């Protein structure tokens, strides 16, 4: 049974419901993120969720936060349900919760691309650029870039679309000092994660990071989720072949079903059980290959 919404009956103030996470105020310094099983595709929210998707995202983020901590501080405090929350709410929260530091989030999606695919490939075929950056001529779809590209976008309000921007533009959004730091950290985090994932048989084609500011220490901190199938393209390394699209360990299974039925961009579509199960299996496979753990 998929959990598509949480209800703590006013025990904690609900600050926001995002595409996946319900965010509660825990105290003055920390928040409670709860990853539901909601799923969206083509910027449209499906009527039903994918069972255990929120738990898989939480477990995978926890893995990556630990692995990447030497490179960049992160906001995760604990994945345990706080003792202060009554037991009646625990079934909604166990395995889905992240207690995180409350930080000022930068209005930037820090996207790093190691391979040319998706919107980057479409832009390249038209202009020879990616986010306005001139890249090597003669590339083919899914080919690896010479070096990872930092290709940010604006962080839009919910319901709006992010806008791809040239890296130089984020200086106008966050200032030069933080723009440089975010770019450096994003590429360093991606490079470390890509190396680790490749050793487990997974190619991380691209990913999206988000960062916040610790105003007391002036440190840039890794926030939100990290390196999940919702924020990244994972490809099976053994099946990789440049020059064509690759099968992904993400929502592509669902997207293909929607596309075949002309349902792209429609809210409230009910996902059939077999498609929900197939989508979940993609998430499970990614989790097991990357962490080396069996999903229970």
Q: What is the residue-level pLDDT of the chain in tens, covering all 296 positions?
A: 899 999 999 999 999 999 899 999 999 999 999 999 999 988 889 999 999 999 999 999 999 999 999 999 999 999 999 999 999 999 999 999 999 999 999 999 999 999 999 999 999 999 999 999 999 999 999 999 999 999 999 986 655 667 888 999 999 999 999 999 999 999 999 999 999 999 999 999 999 999 999 999 999 999 999 999 999 999 999 999 999 999 888 787 898 899 999 999 899 999 999 999 999 999 999 999 999 999 98
pLDDT value at position 158?
Answer: 57
Looking up tokens 């990244």 gives: 232
Please tell me the distance from the alpha carbon of residue 235 to that of residue 205, in angstroms, as a whole number: 7
Radius of gyration, CA atoms only, the chain: 19
Pairing of strands 219-223, 232-236: unpaired
Q: Give 222's strand partners.
A: 74, 211
pLDDT of residue 159: 54
The DSSP code sequence of 123-182 is HHHHHSEETTEE--TT--TTPEEEEEEE--EE-PPTTSPP-B--GGGHHHHH-HHHHHHH
Collapse the DSSP code of 294 into the 3-class scheme (helix H, G, I; strand E, B; otherwise coil) and give the result. Answer: coil
Residues 6+ apart with CB under 8 A from 32: 12, 23, 24, 25, 26, 82, 93, 97, 98, 99, 100
Question: What pLDDT shows up at residue 255?
Answer: 86
> Distance between CA 50 and CA 65 in Å, rounded?
24
Could you give the 3-state DSSP secondary structure of residue 59?
helix
3-state secondary structure of 18: coil
Structure confidence at residue 43 (pLDDT): 82
Tell me the whole-structure pTM to 2 decimals.
0.94
């Amino acid at each position: 049974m998929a959990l598509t919404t949480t209800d703590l009956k006013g025990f904690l103030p609900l600050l926001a419901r995002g595409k996946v996470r319900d965010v509660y105020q825990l105290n003055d310094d920390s928040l409670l993120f709860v990853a539901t099983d909601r799923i969206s595709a083509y910027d449209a929210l499906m009527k039903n969720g994918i069972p255990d998707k929120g738990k898989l995202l939480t477990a995978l983020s926890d893995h990556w936060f630990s692995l990447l901590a030497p490179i960049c501080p992160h906001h995760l405090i604990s994945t345990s349900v706080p003792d202060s929350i009554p037991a009646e709410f625990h079934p909604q929260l166990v395995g889905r919760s992240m207690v995180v530091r409350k930080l000022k989030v930068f209005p930037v999606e820090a996207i790093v691309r190691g391979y040319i695919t998706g919107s980057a490939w479409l832009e390249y075929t038209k202009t020879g650029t990616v986010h306005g950056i001139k890249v090597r001529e003669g590339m083919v779809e899914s080919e690896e870039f010479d070096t990872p590209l930092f290709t940010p976008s604006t962080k839009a309000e919910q319901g709006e679309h992010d806008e791809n921007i040239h890296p130089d533009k984020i200086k106008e959004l966050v200032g030069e000092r933080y723009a440089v730091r975010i770019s450096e950290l994003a590429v360093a985090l991606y490079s470390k994660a890509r190396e680790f994932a490749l050793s487990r048989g997974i190619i991380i084609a691209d990913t999206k990071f988000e960062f916040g500011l610790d105003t007391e220490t002036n440190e840039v901190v890794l926030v939100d989720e990290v390196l999940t199938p919702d924020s990244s393209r994972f490809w099976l390394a053994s099946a990789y072949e440049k020059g064509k699209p690759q099968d992904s360990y993400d929502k592509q299974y669902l997207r293909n079903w929607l596309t075949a039925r002309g349902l792209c961009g429609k809210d409230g579509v009910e996902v059939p059980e077999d498609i929900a199960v197939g989508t979940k299996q993609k998430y499970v496979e990614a989790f097991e290959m990357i962490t080396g753990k069996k999903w229970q």
